[in-house]
Structure 1
């Protein structure tokens, strides 16, 4: 059974979910379905998976609590790891993803400061890149789940921006490894995220950015 259909059935069985959480998860699953329908197209698949992830953590912040996207998903990651009693995210990072994680960490093309430097917004990038690599390896050795996941998603966020804002060619040969690694990670990570949220309806996952308005 496709993962998205399985999750959709789980959602229907959860009768006591708060409405906003149900909408959030329904939207995320819909984009997971989109990924499964375009599974053979890595570019479309990556974007569909990121939108699915975004549906999980995107919130309507008040004017007094304007946070960057990175800050929002850092908070979201901390919540997920705290509620992940079965350590499913840990098992993904250390067992399923160990190779792709190391490749992402060592790939300067998905490191934000590298592009800041080329736009003239940073004096250099190599020192920051080496520090980021060292920090990631330290989090690996310490089994710091939230810290490592944050670094991984930060790398994928750079890739997301590159693709979403027209900074990459469709089916480009230049970013194939990053796209494929991103797809392989998110396709396994997002269902785990959705299940954790379904199992913790009492948690404050934030107000959805665009509520359903019928008139």
Structure 2
């Protein structure tokens, strides 16, 4: 999928305005870097590059006082927007296709469920984490049957965000054996999903389509 997305960008980049072109270029640059990591020992670095690629695709400058626009809120809004534009069901083919089993493992794994970690820290409100996890898994399975891609991705990214925090905030050793299979599942899924998202964005490019102001707009002196 990365090759197809990169080729599409190269063929049409001059027709994009500079802001949109920069957004796609930045994301693709991190996807290409992620693609250079091929061994099991490099899974952590690959995941981090993939998450940066995702950040580059959806990230936008937000008012500091707008507390409702948290990072999770921002990327979930982005995902919903992508799904609404995805008339050819590219995301559905990733979610419900060859990666369906991998993301099922992510959803069912207590170690990617934030409420479980809250419970281990003694948070009283998290004492029912097992019931909450079961309810989340059931919701995910119901959405697979109904092909509710938006809700599926919302659930999956809740799990991926836990992995992201473990790595980015030093909550996991580099190359830890404890999360190898989980990171591997996440990397396989994101490696197809993010290029698919970029392709949907480019296929639906309009100069008046607002993806938000870029973080750190390039300055030419």
Question: Which range, TM-score by smaller chain?
Answer: over 0.9
Computed over aligned residues only, the root mean square deviation of the Cα atoms, in angstroms, reads 1.7
- The corresponding residue for 2:210 is 204
* 1:75 correspondence with 2:77: yes
- The corresponding residue for 1:129 is 133
For residues 194 and 210 of structure 1, the distance between their equivalents in structure 2, rounded to whole angstroms, comes to 20
- The corresponding residue for 1:12 is 10
For residues 145 and 8 of structure 2, the distance between their equivalents in structure 1, rounded to whole angstroms, comes to 35
- The corresponding residue for 2:24 is 25
- How far has the Cα of 1:108 moved from its partner? 0.7
Give the stretch that moved more between structures: 44-53 or 197-206.
197-206
C-alpha contact (below 8 Å) 1:18/1:201 kept by paired residues: no
- The corresponding residue for 1:149 is 153
For residues 114 and 24 of structure 1, the distance between their equivalents in structure 2, rounded to whole angstroms, comes to 35
- How far has the Cα of 1:119 moved from its partner? 2.5
Give the stretch that moved more between structures: 189-198 or 120-129.
120-129
Q: How does 1:1-215 map to 2 (within 5 A)?
A: 3-4=2-3, 6-14=4-12, 15-40=14-39, 41-66=42-67, 67-121=69-123, 122-124=125-127, 125-202=129-206, 203-215=209-221
Residues 214, 116 of structure 1: CA spacing in aligned structure 2 closer, same or farther, 3 A cutoff? farther
Give the stretch that moved more between structures: 103-112 or 38-47.
38-47
TM-score, structure 2 as length reference: 0.90
C-alpha contact (below 8 Å) 1:112/1:158 kept by paired residues: yes
C-alpha contact (below 8 Å) 2:103/2:186 kept by paired residues: no
Give the stretch that moved more between structures: 14-23 or 61-70.
61-70
Provide the secondary structure at the position in 2 that maps to 1:95: coil
- How far has the Cα of 1:214 moved from its partner? 3.1
Gaps of 5+ in 2: none
Gaps of 5+ in 1: none
- How far has the Cα of 1:64 moved from its partner? 5.0
TM-score, structure 1 as length reference: 0.92
